[in-house]
């Protein structure tokens, strides 16, 4: 009987041990871990003070409060405010090209001529008719002024003369349309047309560019449509010229291109004195969309992460006459160009450890110059 009771007790004990409260056990282990970590730190400090363990050499950086800015960066291109593909107003065979690439032309200057021989012959015939109808009209008018003849004869002669004059005016307009003229002052940049080719109305035959006013143009993703507006500060970096300009957004389109879901942003550039703008030159456009006038910003490389503790950096502190490393837990904001905005956890004058921080632990004795 006694043996049976012992066996039954063992079974109850085993069953109880097989179903522990796991959460309570985990909490107990964490508590023991924290106590052990504190004891280890205290013992290490004691050993360092008694055994003179060499301090870990680190580098530090004194933090300062300064402005922090974030920019949206897109690649654009340089264009002229007046960059025009000049097309003929009528179809015809090219007979003469009067300019060459690189020539500076004035508004209205003839760039090329199309074959208008038939029109010119028709014009000559009409001018002969005009001479004849004008003579008839003058004679009929002289008679009518003397009350000789009928009014119908006078009006018929007048109508014939005016009809020929209108036809001549129309024909001259057609002849003028056979000349391709410059619509603006500028430089001829491209001439895809050749003598003997058929020029087609609406197809560019010349490209004339005026860079007296240039602009940077970029297609910006739809996601930034609420963040960019006219007047925003912008930095324009021209890699080909190795130069950066400070400007403002002059135009932010309200139209989203349904094909690529982008909208157009334009920035007028200052007159080019030392810089030589070229059409389609690459322009890296950086548009400021966020600014904090007073904050601490640190390199994102110095911020470490722990699942249990979150984000932190190591600071150099003076304690009991010794220099020690201490964790500083931080809340971060936005990151730009390798720097991360610190919203809380650091202040002006803090000494952040920037070299040797990877293998440190909280409370470790350190030294630095």
| Nearest-angstrom CA–CA distance, 361 and 63 | 21
Cβ 79 vs Cβ 280: under 8 Å: yes
DSSP state letters, 242-294: TEEEEEE--EE-S---TTT-EEEEEEEPPP-SS----TT-EEEEEEEEEEEEE
Residue 16 lies inside a defined structural domain of this protein:
no
Residue 112 lies inside a defined structural domain of this protein:
yes
Residue 142 lies inside a defined structural domain of this protein:
yes
Residue 2 lies inside a defined structural domain of this protein:
no
Q: Which domain holds residue 181?
A: 90-199
Cβ 190 vs Cβ 207: under 8 Å: yes
Per-residue model confidence as pLDDT tens digits over 176-186:
888 888 988 88
| Nearest-angstrom CA–CA distance, 58 and 316 | 9
What is the tally of structural domains in the chain?
A: 4
Higher pLDDT, 170 or 1: 170
Distances in whole angstroms, Cα of residue 129 to Cα of each of 86, 155, 163, 170, 206:
36, 17, 10, 15, 38
Domain stop point among 271, 291, 311: 291
Residue 43 sits at φ, ψ, to 5 deg, of: -65, -40
Domain stop point among 199, 229, 247: 199
Residue 7 lies inside a defined structural domain of this protein:
no
Do residue 297 and residue 157 come from a single domain?
no
Residue 10 lies inside a defined structural domain of this protein:
no
Spatial CA neighbour of 44 closest among 367, 365, 368, 357 = 365
C-alpha dihedral (133, 136, 138, 140), degrees to nearest 10: -140
Do residue 174 and residue 235 come from a single domain?
no
CATH number, domain of 277, equals 2.40.30.170
| Nearest-angstrom CA–CA distance, 129 and 168 | 10
Do residue 187 and residue 119 come from a single domain?
yes
What DSSP designation does 209 have?
Answer: E
Cβ 316 vs Cβ 355: under 8 Å: no
| Nearest-angstrom CA–CA distance, 206 and 185 | 13
At residue 312, the 3 state secondary structure works out as: strand
> Left, alpha or beta for 118 (phi > 0: left; psi -120 to 50: alpha)?
alpha
Average pLDDT, rounded, for the chain: 83
Do residue 78 and residue 210 come from a single domain?
yes
Cβ 368 vs Cβ 57: under 8 Å: yes
Q: How confident is the model at residue 261 (pLDDT cuts 50, 70, 90)?
A: very high
Residue 8 lies inside a defined structural domain of this protein:
no
CATH number, domain of 360, equals 2.40.420.20
Do residue 274 and residue 318 come from a single domain?
no
Do residue 235 and residue 316 come from a single domain?
no
Do residue 95 and residue 170 come from a single domain?
yes
Per-residue model confidence as pLDDT tens digits over 103-137:
889 998 999 988 878 877 887 888 888 888 888 87
Do residue 166 and residue 231 come from a single domain?
no
| Nearest-angstrom CA–CA distance, 266 and 324 | 53
| Nearest-angstrom CA–CA distance, 66 and 297 | 8
Do residue 36 and residue 62 come from a single domain?
no
Per-residue model confidence as pLDDT tens digits over 297-333:
999 999 998 888 899 999 999 888 888 999 999 999 9
Mean pLDDT of 40-53: 64
pTM exceeds 0.85 = no
Burial degree of 64 (CB within 10 A; 0-12, 13-18, 19+):
exposed
Domain stop point among 151, 184, 199: 199
Between helix 151-177 and helix 117-145 the angle, nearest 10°, is: 160
Residue 350 lies inside a defined structural domain of this protein:
yes
DSSP state letters, 48-100: HHHH-PPPEE-EEEE---EEEEEEEEEEEEEEEEEEEEE--SS-EEEEEE---
Do residue 76 and residue 213 come from a single domain?
yes
Do residue 100 and residue 194 come from a single domain?
yes
Q: Which residues, 6+ apart, have CB-to-CB distance to 81 below 8 Å? A: 210, 212, 213, 214, 215, 268
Do residue 322 and residue 229 come from a single domain?
no
| Nearest-angstrom CA–CA distance, 221 and 285 | 13
Helix (H) or strand (E) holding 313: strand 310-319
Per-residue model confidence as pLDDT tens digits over 294-305:
999 999 999 998
Mean pLDDT of 47-66: 77
Q: How confident is the model at residue 216 (pLDDT cuts 50, 70, 90)?
A: very high
């Amino acid at each position: 009987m006694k043996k049976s009771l012992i066996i039954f007790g063992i079974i109850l004990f085993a069953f109880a041990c097989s179903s522990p409260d796991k959460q309570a056990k985990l909490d107990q282990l964490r508590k023991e871990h924290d106590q052990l970590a504190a004891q280890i730190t205290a013992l290490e400090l004691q050993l360092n003070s008694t055994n003179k363990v060499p301090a870990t050499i680190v580098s530090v950086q004194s933090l300062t409060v300064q402005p922090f800015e974030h920019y949206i960066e897109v690649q654009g291109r340089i264009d002229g405010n007046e960059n025009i593909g000049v097309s003929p107003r009528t179809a015809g065979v090219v007979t003469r090209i009067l300019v060459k690439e690189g020539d500076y032309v004035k508004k209205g200057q003839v760039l090329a001529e199309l074959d208008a021989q038939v029109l010119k012959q028709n014009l000559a015939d009409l001018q002969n008719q005009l001479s004849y109808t004008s003579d008839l009209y003058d004679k009929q008018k002289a008679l009518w002024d003397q009350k000789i003849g009928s009014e119908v004869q006078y009006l018929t002669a007048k109508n014939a003369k005016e009809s020929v004059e209108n036809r001549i005016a129309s024909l001259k307009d057609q002849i003028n349309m056979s000349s391709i003229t410059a619509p603006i002052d500028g430089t001829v940049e491209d001439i895809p047309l050749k003598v003997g080719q058929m020029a087609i109305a609406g197809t560019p035959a010349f490209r004339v560019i005026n860079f007296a006013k240039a602009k940077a143009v970029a297609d910006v993703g739809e996601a930034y449509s609420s963040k960019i507006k006219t007047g925003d500060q912008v930095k324009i970096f021209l890699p080909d010229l190795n130069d950066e300009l400070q400007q403002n957004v002059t135009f932010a389109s309200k139209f989203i291109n349904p094909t690529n879901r982008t909208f157009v942003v334009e920035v007028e550039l200052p007159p080019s004195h030392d810089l030589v703008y070229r059409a389609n030159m690459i322009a890296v456009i950086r548009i400021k969309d966020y600014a904090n006038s007073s904050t601490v910003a640190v390199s994102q490389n110095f911020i470490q992460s722990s699942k249990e503790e979150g984000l932190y950096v190591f600071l150099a502190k003076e304690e009991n006459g010794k220099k020690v490393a201490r964790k500083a837990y931080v809340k971060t904001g936005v990151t730009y160009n390798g720097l991360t905005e610190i919203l809380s956890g650091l202040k002006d004058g803090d000494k952040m450890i920037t070299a040797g921080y990877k293998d440190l632990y909280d409370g470790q004795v350190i030294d630095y110059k």
